[in-house]
Amino acid sequence: MDDTDFEGTLVLEKLAAVDQVDEFLEAVDADDVRRATSLMKAAGVDGPTIAIVVRKMEEADGQH
């Protein structure tokens, strides 16, 4: 998966399946990459998708 194929709702759907959407959004808002990564891994999000999310978080640099 690359940026052109990235669909953020797929990440949210996986997080919803394990009831972690709110925690994930809080981690994103706090720019807590480590926590967001941990939550995505626990939800079964694949490594390449996690990398895209982390890159997008870092590129946002506090701009949500």
Across the chain, which has 64 residues, the per-10-residue mean pLDDT values are 65 95 95 97 95 91 60
Predicted confidence at residue 32, as pLDDT, reads: 96
Q: Which residue range is the domain that position 31 belongs to? A: 8-60
Q: Is residue 54 part of a domain?
A: yes
Q: Are 54 and 33 in contact (CB under 8 A)?
A: yes
As for how many domains the chain has, the answer is 1
Predicted confidence at residue 9, as pLDDT, reads: 84
Q: What is the pTM of this model?
A: 0.84
Tell me which long-range contacts 4-12 makes (C-beta under 8 A, separation of at least 24): 6/49, 6/52, 8/53, 10/49, 11/40, 11/43, 11/45, 11/49, 11/53
Q: What is the CA radius of gyration of the chain?
A: 11
Cβ–Cβ contacts within 10 Å for residue 1, how many? 13
Q: Is residue 1 part of a domain?
A: no
